[in-house]
């Protein structure tokens, strides 16, 4: 009998976890040895990071230990991937300095902030990226509020959110829920706090349904959010941001949500990338590398209907992971792989805990109904990951 095939999965996000779990379900350990590498011992729900970033939920609600999600047949290695060595079919790890070899590689290392080379952003802005980064945002913001009592400097309680895509809007929605509580705690009159959402495009949520965008803007504006549209941030300094045209907004807390690019490890591997993302074929393979598969935010797929890349989403990553697991299992058994076809189920964006906007199928949803839908989507992910047990543990309303 032949040796089990070595399948190495990098990244325990939406794409990587779905692939590893799916493979373990379909293949026996005599057919494949599945190893999952992730830098943390836990998986975090990237789709919910805007909440701990604002402090509307504790960061522990947004993560779960990976070991509790995996069947025993999957070997979990907690380490940071340093390099992918395609020629040698090996992956180098940072902490242990070990190299892991593979027959098939699945890369699901997620994204990194895209700063477009804007001066001062990397040094001075905060990013909604992982558990560490959102914990830092919340702690920093609270510290700035605490200093206001003494120092009375308006910039301490001015929060600038750079970019009004889905991440920016969802974060602003959480801030709207959180600020009243912070003001009570630190004895600050609510009217003194400024939340400024700056967007380069002529509208917030560019490309999204116009009526829903209007709903979001009206709702958030009624809660005091200031929108500055068609005014790209051109520089971020220690004092705040400078917009196109020269306007300066003084702010001690600048959170950048202006876009994402693929993980640098992938860019450095020698595979062709566009903004760090690999244009995969219909079997999710990297060009020129038949045994290397890319899922999630590191991959790029073109929507044939409009000839534009699909936006990188958890929905896409999950579907890719599920399909790839089926394909690889079939291939390892000598069967065929089926082309991946993305099936968009809709988009729902929260505006805080109780309000949201969304399109599901042909239906537009707003307000409490959309917020309920958003909760259902979050619970579905918990169910896919860890069944009803995880839903009960982590899915509190």
Active site residues: 170
Name the one range near ligand NAD by CB under 6 A: 149-157, 197-205, 264-272, 320-328: 197-205
Which residue number, 33 or 174, has a Cβ lying nearer to ligand NAD?
174
Which residue number, 33 or 170, has a Cβ lying nearer to ligand NAD?
170
Name the one range near ligand NAD by CB under 6 A: 24-32, 57-65, 101-109, 305-313: 305-313
Which residue number, 15 or 165, has a Cβ lying nearer to ligand NAD?
165
Q: What's the alpha-carbon Rg for the chain, to the nearest Å?
A: 22
Q: What are phi and psi of 261, to 5 degrees?
A: -135, 170
Instruction: Report how far residue 294's alpha carbon sits from residue 312's, in angstroms, rounded to the nearest whole number.
Output: 13
Between 147 and 176, how does the x/- string for binding to ligand NAD read (CB under 6 A)?
---------------xxxxxxx-x------
Residue 309: Cβ within 10 Å count: 15
The answer to whether 196 contacts ligand FAD (rule: CB under 6 A) is no
Say which entry of ligand NAD, ligand FAD, none residue 258 contacts (CB below 5 to 8 A, set by partner kind): ligand NAD
CB of 395 to ligand FAD, least distance (A): 15
Instruction: Report how far residue 365's alpha carbon sits from residue 49's, in angstroms, rounded to the nearest whole number.
Output: 23
Name the region of 163 (left: φ>0; alpha: ψ -120 to 50; beta: rest): left
| Contact status, residue 259 vs residue 231, Cβ threshold 8 Å | no
Which residue number, 130 or 203, has a Cβ lying nearer to ligand FAD?
130
Name the one range near ligand FAD by CB under 6 A: 11-19, 153-161, 194-202, 227-235: 11-19
CB of 104 to ligand FAD, least distance (A): 17
The answer to whether 240 contacts ligand NAD (rule: CB under 6 A) is no
End-to-end alpha-carbon separation of the chain, Å?
Answer: 51
Among the listed residues 173, 258, 262, 276, the single contact to ligand NAD using CB under 6 A = 258
Among the listed residues 16, 55, 258, 358, the single contact to ligand FAD using CB under 6 A = 16
Say which entry of ligand FAD, ligand NAD, none residue 81 contacts (CB below 5 to 8 A, set by partner kind): ligand FAD
**Residue from 80, 75, 45 nearest 61 by CA:** 45
The answer to whether 167 contacts ligand FAD (rule: CB under 6 A) is yes
Say which entry of ligand NAD, ligand FAD, none residue 109 contacts (CB below 5 to 8 A, set by partner kind): ligand FAD
Name the one range near ligand NAD by CB under 6 A: 99-107, 134-142, 256-264, 285-293: 256-264
Which residue number, 52 or 120, has a Cβ lying nearer to ligand FAD?
52
The answer to whether 207 contacts ligand NAD (rule: CB under 6 A) is no
Six token digits for residue 226 = 């200031």
The answer to whether 21 contacts ligand FAD (rule: CB under 6 A) is no
**Residue from 113, 358, 333 nearest 236 by CA:** 113
For ligand NAD, the binding residues (CB under 6 A) are 116, 118, 162-168, 170, 198-201, 206, 232-233, 257-260, 311-313, 347-349
Residues of this chain that bind ligand FAD (CB under 6 A): 11-16, 37-40, 43, 46-47, 49-50, 80-81, 108-110, 128, 130, 167, 170, 263, 265, 296-297, 312-315, 317
């Amino acid at each position: 009998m032949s040796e089990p095939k070595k399948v190495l999965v990098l990244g325990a996000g939406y794409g990587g976890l779905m692939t590893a779990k799916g493979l373990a379900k379909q293949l026996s350990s005599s057919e494949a040895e599945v190893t999952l590498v992730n830098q943390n011992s836990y998986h975090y729900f990237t789709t919910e990071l805007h909440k701990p970033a604002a402090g509307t939920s504790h960061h522990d609600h947004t993560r779960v230990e990976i070991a509790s999600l995996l069947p025993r047949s999957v070997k979990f290695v907690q380490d940071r991937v340093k390099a992918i060595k395609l020629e040698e079919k090996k992956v180098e790890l940072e902490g242990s300095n070990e190299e892991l070899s593979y027959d098939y590689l699945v890369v699901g290392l997620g994204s990194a902030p895209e700063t477009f080379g804007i001066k001062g952003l990397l040094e001075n802005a905060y990013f909604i990226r992982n558990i560490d980064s959102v914990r830092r945002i919340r702690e920093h913001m609270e510290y700035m509020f605490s200093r206001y009592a003494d120092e009375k400097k308006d910039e301490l309680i001015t929060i600038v959110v750079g970019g009004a895509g889905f991440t920016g809007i969802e974060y602003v929605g959480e801030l709207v829920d959180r600020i009243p509580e912070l003001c009570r705690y630190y004895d600050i009159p609510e009217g003194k706090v400024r939340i400024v959402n700056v967007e380069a495009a002529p509208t917030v949520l560019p490309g999204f349904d116009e009526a829903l965008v209007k709903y979001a803007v009206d709702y958030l504006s009624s809660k005091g959010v200031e929108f500055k549209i068609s005014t790209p941030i051109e520089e971020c300094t220690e004092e705040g941001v400078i917009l196109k045209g020269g306007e300066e907004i003084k702010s001690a807390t600048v959170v950048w949500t202006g876009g994402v690019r693929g993980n640098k490890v992938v860019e450095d591997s020698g595979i062709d990338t566009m903004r760090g993302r690999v244009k995969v074929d219909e079997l999710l393979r990297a060009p020129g590398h038949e045994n290397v598969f890319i899922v999630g935010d590191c991959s790029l797929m073109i929507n044939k209907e409009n000839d534009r890349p699909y936006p990188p989403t958890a929905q896409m990553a999950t579907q890719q992971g599920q399909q790839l697991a089926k394909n690889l299992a079939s291939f390892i058994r000598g069967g065929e792989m089926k082309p991946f076809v993305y099936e968009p189920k809709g988009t729902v964006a929260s505006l805080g805990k109780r309000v949201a906007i969304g399109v599901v199928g042909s239906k537009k949803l707003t307000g409490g109904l959309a917020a309920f839908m958003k909760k259902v989507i979050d619970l579905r992910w918990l169910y896919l990951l860890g069944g009803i047990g995880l839903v009960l543990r982590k899915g509190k309303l």
